[in-house]
Each structure stands twice: as structure tokens, then as C-alpha cells.
Amino acid sequence: MSSGFDDERQHAVEVIPGFILGGIYNLEEILYLKPDVLFPLDRLPGWVWNSGFRGEIVYYPITDYDVLPDDVLDKLAEAAAERLRAGKRVGMFCIGGHGRTGYAASCVLHLLGEKRPIAFLRDNYSYKAVETQEQEAAVQRFRERHA
């Protein structure tokens, strides 16, 4: 068995129709799946335009292992869910594609009707989705606000 950073990289996954999750290291995979909208949660390299992407970019930076203020998280999740409901393909990613991506995606999935969004992501995307207790607590608060 090998070890090292490459083993920690998450592949891009379309977790539900139109909702593509991953990390910056597989941004090419995300772009291959033809998103209409990108939600970078950390950074976005300028070469995205050279890939042919011409969609919308909705930027919500989140510090690694951290969470957003509740009102900002509400806006992010509602913006992504609104686009998915409209039939747009949404790509969401941070650096590794685990903590921040799982945290934000869990809230989007909750708005779309998923009853156990963290468990859903851990089963269908990455067992590392949502990395910290603070992120889990923020998802729970979000679910309570949007019950």
C-alpha cells in the first residue's frame, strides 16, 4: 500500500443528477462533467477559462476546517439549490474535496430533500465528507433552521 498526498485526493463525483463534488486537484474531472455553475469554496485557477468553461462562478471562500456564519451558509446553500432546481449543473469544490465541500454540499442536499445528508455523502461520495465537529454542528443548525 502506498502513502502520500495523492492517496488523499477525492475524485469528482456526481452525487445526484447535476450536483458534482470534488477537490481542486481534480477540477479537470469536474469540468469534464460540464457544470453550468462553479461554487469554489477556496480558490479557482485562472486556467478554468482555457478549459472552455463559460458558466457562472459563485464564490464563497471558507477557511480550511472552518464554517461560514449561519446567514452566509444559508445564502450559499440556497443559491446552489436554486440553480439545481432550475436544471443547471453545479460543481462545488474546495482543496481536498472533503470537509468544506461536504459541509456545504450537505446543506444543499438537505434543501433538496435529503433526510440524512452527511450520511448520504459519506456513503455516496467520500467517507471523509464533513471533517470536523464544528462542521457537523453547523450542518445540524442549518437543518434545524430549514426544517
Per-residue cell: 134? 464544528
| Structural domains in the chain, sorted by start | 12-145 (3.90.190.10)
pLDDT > 90: what percent of the chain? 93
Confidence of residue 2 (pLDDT cuts 50, 70, 90): very low
pLDDT(3) > 70: no
| Cβ atoms of residues 62 and 41 within 8 Å | yes
pLDDT(8) > 80: no
Residue 17: strand, helix, or coil: coil
pTM: 0.93
pLDDT tens by residue, 131-145:
999 999 999 999 999
- Nearest Cα to 81, choosing from 93, 90, 72? 90
pLDDT(1) > 50: no
Strand 13-16 with 19-23, pairing: antiparallel
